[in-house]
């Protein structure tokens, strides 16, 4: 490994404007003048009210969306849309993104298959990953035969099998029930602790953000979302997400960040009510 | 099993009703002025049955049926393949689809059966004019389904595959094609029927072979029993083809949730 300059992910002065639906209305600015750096091995959560452009930011980081202005640097290299998506990043989507026509194992090894890894080798790795996410023996099931939690595990294995240097996660557990969700959060932390990837984790759940991260970035309400707060989370690791929620240090942090977030959440709520 | 018995019962009752109403002398004529007129216009079930048996025993039907099925199969295969290919192409190329849009719409709204005489002139009275008619009918059904299927692929699925490193070709192979296939199979049941329509209508308009030709000949001599026999054979063949498509579909689409099987852990 040759250490290059720069953080794992550097979003500099990003603005995303979307064209208006008709000629009379203004173009919609989802994200405005946002700068965000993620150091190597750092777990950063981005929280903000619903509909504030969190996913837009993540899509920019993934190279799926080209920002109107601003630059994205990955380990010191410019990410240009002409070169396609961010190859060093893995992306876990909010909604189900598994291929319904592939069995569990074939979904897990899809990325290896795209990279031309021989099938026997890919299958061996795939089985190992199924075991790591607790799905050993479920490889021959189709996604529709699995529960929501199992599908999330499958998606996690599908992303992590490629061993991406950066992990982008868009509210990956928001569709799960509370118990499954805490289990998955603990599993994610355990997997992350093994090799400390850089993680950009998007969520609207402040508790989840604090429990998982090294740093929490608070976004303002849209339109024209930008970071309005940056909080260091110096809770000890390893953590148990369900236990850490009870500690005084956690509650202090929660109070502090919520104070910064509250106004934005109310603003977003008012705006949604007005529409 | 009970269902099967009920289904057979319905068939039996229908045939019985047909027999009673058409058998000369059984029921006094109440609509026609002579008691053999009903049999003349509607045929008689037992005679229809014997025509069919006779066709198969003498082997007379086989060359005709073979021709009709060949026309159907060719029309179906060529129409479905071109519908799949062009559907994929237009769905993935917005420019081409924008240019072709009015023509596709035009061809689709045209009653394409009117092309049959032109095809007869272009391709002669052999099987190819019937195949061509079948192709024009099948093509659009498959085309629109593929087009729709590709357009409705979840953007999430595409983004996910791209993040996993899929190239354009790999996207086509592992996302667009399988996703379109479920729509294609939904349309194939319709398409088989339409390929049959193409073959038989083509044979009506001019041919020297085929089940459509047999029916046309019988009509020319007011032989209603033979007409019904032809219709019966065609229907049986269409049903058989449809169940064949169903079998292939079940083989290839094992990943689709069946009713009552979703979300099973």
- The residue segments making up the domain with residue B202 are 42-249
Mean pLDDT of A199-219: 91
Number of independent structural domains in chain B: 1
- In tens, the pLDDT along B31-81 reads 777 777 778 888 888 889 999 999 999 988 899 999 999 999 999 999 999
- CA torsion sign for B194, B196, B198, B201 is negative
Q: Which of these, B157, B184, B253, lies nearest to A99 by C-alpha position?
A: B157
Determine, for residues B265 and A147 on separate chains, whether the beta-carbon distance falls below 8 Å. Answer: yes
> What number of CA atoms fall less than 13 Å from residue A275's CA on the CB side?
6
Determine, for residues A150 and B265 on separate chains, whether the beta-carbon distance falls below 8 Å. Answer: yes
Provide the pLDDT for residue A23. 67
Q: Which of these, A254, A266, A269, lies nearest to A205 by C-alpha position?
A: A254
Q: Which fold has domain A9-88+164-274?
A: Rossmann fold (3.40.50)
Determine, for residues A114 and B157 on separate chains, whether the beta-carbon distance falls below 8 Å. Answer: no
Mean pLDDT of B200-222: 88
What is the SS3 assignment for A169? strand
Q: What is the mean pLDDT of chain B?
A: 87
Provide the pLDDT for residue B265. 36
What is the SS3 assignment for B242? helix
Beta carbons of A7 and A38 less than 8 angstroms apart: yes
Greatest mean pLDDT range, A200-214, A258-272, B178-192: A200-214
Residue partners of A9: CB distance under 8 A and separation at least 6: A36, A37, A38, A61, A72, A73, A74, A89, A166, A198, A200
CA–CA min distance B164, chain A (Å): 5
- In tens, the pLDDT along A61-91 reads 998 888 888 889 888 888 887 778 888 899 9
Residues of chain A contacting residue B154, judged by C-beta atoms under 8 Å apart:
95, 97
Q: Name the residue of chain A whose CA is nearest to B160's CA.
A: A97
A114-123: long-range contacts (C-beta < 8 A, 24 or more apart)? A114/B161, A114/B164, A114/B165, A114/B166, A114/B167, A114/B170, A114/B174, A115/A162, A115/B165
User: Which of A101, A122, A125 has the highest number of chain B CBs within 10 A, making it the mutation to test binding with B?
Assistant: A101
Determine, for residues B254 and A142 on separate chains, whether the beta-carbon distance falls below 8 Å. Answer: yes
Beta carbons of B245 and B188 less than 8 angstroms apart: yes
pLDDT at A2 over 60: no
Q: Name the residue of chain B whose CA is nearest to A113's CA.
A: B166
Determine, for residues B164 and A99 on separate chains, whether the beta-carbon distance falls below 8 Å. Answer: no
pLDDT at B260 over 60: no
Provide the pLDDT for residue B104. 86
Q: What is the mean pLDDT of chain A?
A: 87
Q: Name the residue of chain A whose CA is nearest to B180's CA.
A: A101
Provide the pLDDT for residue A248. 92
Range of lowest pLDDT (A131-140, A210-219, B73-82, B246-255): B246-255
Task: Give the separation between CA B71 and CA B60, rounded to whole angstroms.
Answer: 18
- In tens, the pLDDT along B90-113 reads 988 888 888 988 988 888 888 888
CATH of residue B103: 1.10.3720.10
**Given pLDDT bands bounded at 50, 70 and 90, which one contains residue A169?**
very high
- In tens, the pLDDT along B18-28 reads 988 888 877 77
- In tens, the pLDDT along A115-162 reads 999 999 999 999 999 998 888 889 899 998 888 888 988 998 999 999
Mean pLDDT of A192-215: 91
* Domain layout of chain A by residue ranges: 9-88+164-274, 96-163
Number of A/B CB contacts below 8 angstroms equals 80
Lookup: tokens for A39: 């150091």
Task: Give the separation between CA A60 and CA B192, rounded to whole angstroms.
Answer: 47
Over pLDDT 90: what percentage of chain B? 29
Provide the pLDDT for residue B154. 86
Task: Give the separation between CA B158 and CA B42, rounded to whole angstroms.
Answer: 58
Provide the pLDDT for residue B258. 63
pLDDT at B262 over 60: no
CA–CA min distance A103, chain B (Å): 8
Tell how many helices (H) and how many strands (E) occur in chain A: 9, 10
Is B255 contained in some domain? no
Lookup: tokens for B14: 């229908």
What is the SS3 assignment for A66? coil
- In tens, the pLDDT along B119-158 reads 888 998 888 999 999 999 999 989 988 888 888 888 889 9
- In tens, the pLDDT along B147-192 reads 888 888 888 899 999 999 888 889 988 998 888 887 888 788 888 8
What ipTM was estimated for this complex? Answer: 0.85
Provide the pLDDT for residue A198. 93
Determine, for residues B175 and A99 on separate chains, whether the beta-carbon distance falls below 8 Å. Answer: yes
**Given pLDDT bands bounded at 50, 70 and 90, which one contains residue A187?**
confident
Task: Assess A202–B contact: CB distance below 8 Å, yes or no.
Answer: no
Is B201 contained in some domain? yes
Strand partners, A16: A31
Minimal Cβ distance to B257: which of A62, A144, A158:
A144
């Amino acid at each position: 490994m040759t250490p290059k300059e720069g953080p794992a992910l550097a979003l500099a002065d990003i603005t995303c404007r979307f064209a208006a639906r008709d000629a009379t209305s203004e173009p919609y600015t989802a994200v405005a003048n946002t700068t965000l750096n993620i150091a190597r091995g750092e777990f950063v959560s981005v929280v903000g009210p619903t509909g504030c452009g969190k996913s837009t930011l993540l899509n920019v980081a993934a190279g799926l969306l080209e920002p109107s202005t601003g630059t994205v640097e990955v380990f010191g290299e410019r990410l240009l849309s002409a070169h396609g998506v961010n190859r060093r990043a893995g992306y876990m989507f909010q909604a189900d993104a598994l291929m319904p026509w592939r069995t569990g194992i074939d979904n897990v090894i899809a990325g290896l298959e795209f990279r031309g890894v021989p099938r026997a080798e890919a299958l061996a790795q795939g089985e190992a990953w199924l075991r790591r996410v607790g799905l050993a023996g479920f490889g021959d099931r189709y996604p529709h035969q699995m529960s929501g939690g199992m599908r999330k595990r499958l998606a996690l294995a599908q992303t992590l099998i490629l061993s991406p240097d950066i992990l982008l996660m868009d509210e990956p557990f928001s569709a799960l029930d509370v118990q499954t969700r805490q289990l998955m959060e603990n599993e994610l932390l355990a997997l992350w602790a093994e090799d400390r990837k850089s993680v950009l984790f998007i969520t609207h759940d402040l508790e989840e953000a604090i429990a998982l991260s090294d740093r929490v970035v608070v976004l303002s309400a849209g339109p024209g979302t930008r970071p309005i707060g940056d909080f260091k989370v110096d809770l000890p690791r390893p953590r148990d997400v369900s236990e850490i929620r009870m500690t005084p240090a956690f509650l202090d942090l929660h109070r502090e960040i919520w104070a910064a977030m509250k106004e934005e959440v109310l603003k977003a709520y008012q705006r949604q009510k007005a529409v | 099993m009970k269902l099967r018995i009920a289904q057979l019962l319905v068939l039996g009752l229908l045939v019985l009703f047909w027999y009673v109403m058409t058998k000369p002398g059984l029921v006094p004529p109440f609509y026609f002025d002579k008691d053999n007129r009903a049999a003349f216009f509607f045929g008689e079930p037992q005679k229809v049955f014997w025509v069919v048996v006779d066709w198969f025993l003498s082997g007379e039907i086989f060359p005709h049926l073979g021709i009709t099925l060949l026309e159907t199969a060719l029309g179906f295969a060529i129409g479905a393949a071109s519908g799949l290919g062009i559907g994929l192409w237009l769905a993935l190329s917005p420019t081409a689809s924008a240019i072709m849009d009015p023509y596709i719409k035009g061809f689709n709204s045209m009653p394409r059966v009117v092309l049959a005489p032109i095809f007869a002139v272009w391709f002669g009275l052999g099987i190819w004019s019937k195949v061509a008619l079948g192709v024009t009918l099948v093509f659009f059904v498959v085309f629109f389904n593929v087009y729709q299927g590709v357009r409705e692929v979840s953007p999430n699925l595409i983004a996910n595959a791209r993040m996993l490193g899929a190239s354009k070709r790999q996207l086509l192979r592992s996302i667009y094609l399988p996703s379109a296939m479920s729509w294609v199979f939904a349309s194939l049941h319709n398409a088989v029927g339409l390929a049959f329509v193409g073959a038989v209508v083509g044979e009506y308009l001019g041919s020297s072979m085929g089940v459509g030709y047999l029916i046309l000949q019988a009509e020319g001599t007011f032989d209603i029993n033979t007409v019904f026999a032809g219709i019966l054979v065609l229907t049986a063949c269409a049903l058989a083809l449809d169940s064949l498509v169903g079998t292939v579909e079940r083989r290839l689409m094992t990943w689709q949730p069946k009713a009552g099987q979703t979300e099973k852990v």
